C-alpha cells in the first residue's frame, strides 16, 4: 500500500512539473497573477464537481476547523505565483528541484518536531543525506 501511495505522490509531482511548464508561458501572455487566478479558478471548479459526487455527506463542518488550518489557502497561490514568475527564466527542472529542496528542508523540520499536528519522525542521518543530495542536484542543475 505504501508503494502505491509513493507512486501516486510521484505522479502528483509530475503534474506539478507540467503545471510549471504551462504557467510560465501563460503568465507571459496574460500576466502572472491572471495565470495564477486561472489555475485556481479551474481547480476550484473541478474540486467543487468532485465534492458533489465524492465528498462524504456527513463530514464535520469546514467552518468548525481551527483557522490556522486554512493557511494552505494562502501558501498555495504564493507557490503558484513563484512558479509562474521563475520557470521561464530558470527552466522547469531547476524550478522543481528548488521547490523540492525547500519542501524537503521544511518537511524535515515539521516531521522532526511534530509540528502542525504531525507525528514525530526524527531527522536521522538518512534523511539528512537525502537533503544534501537534493542540494547537490540543485547545484548541479544550476551550473549547466
Specify the pLDDT at position 111: 96
Task: Name 87's Cβ contacts closer than 8 Å, sequence gap at least 6.
Answer: 20, 21, 23, 24, 95
Please count the structural domains in the chain: 1
Residues of the chain with pLDDT under 70: 144
Residue 63 lies in a domain: no
Specify the pLDDT at position 95: 93
Residue 125 lies in a domain: yes
Specify the pLDDT at position 144: 65
Q: What's the predicted TM-score (pTM) here? A: 0.81
Residue 50 lies in a domain: yes
Residue 127 lies in a domain: yes
- How far apart are alpha carbons 93 and 133 in whole angstroms? 15
Element (H, E) at 71: none
Residue range of the domain that includes 128? 2-56+68-142
Computed on alpha carbons and rounded to an integer, the radius of gyration of the chain in Å comes to 18
What does residue 26 show for φ and ψ, rounded to 5 degrees?
Answer: -65, -45
Coil, helix or strand at residue 61: coil
Specify the pLDDT at position 128: 96
Residue 62 lies in a domain: no
Coil, helix or strand at residue 29: helix
Residue 61 lies in a domain: no
Amino acid at each position: 500500500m505504501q508503494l502505491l501511495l509513493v507512486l501516486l505522490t510521484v505522479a502528483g509531482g509530475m503534474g506539478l512539473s507540467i503545471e510549471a511548464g504551462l504557467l510560465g508561458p501563460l503568465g507571459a501572455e496574460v500576466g502572472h497573477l491572471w495565470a495564477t487566478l486561472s489555475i485556481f479558478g479551474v481547480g476550484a471548479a473541478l474540486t467543487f464537481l468532485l465534492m458533489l459526487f465524492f465528498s462524504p455527506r456527513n463530514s464535520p463542518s469546514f467552518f468548525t476547523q481551527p483557522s490556522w488550518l486554512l493557511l494552505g489557502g494562502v501558501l498555495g497561490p504564493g507557490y503558484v505565483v513563484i512558479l509562474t514568475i521563475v520557470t521561464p527564466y530558470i527552466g522547469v527542472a531547476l524550478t522543481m528541484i528548488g521547490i523540492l529542496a525547500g519542501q524537503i528542508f521544511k518537511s524535515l523540520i515539521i516531521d522532526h518536531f511534530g509540528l502542525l499536528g504531525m507525528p514525530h519522525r526524527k531527522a536521522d542521518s538518512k534523511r539528512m543525506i537525502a537533503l544534501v543530495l537534493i542540494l547537490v542536484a540543485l547545484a548541479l542543475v544550476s551550473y549547466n
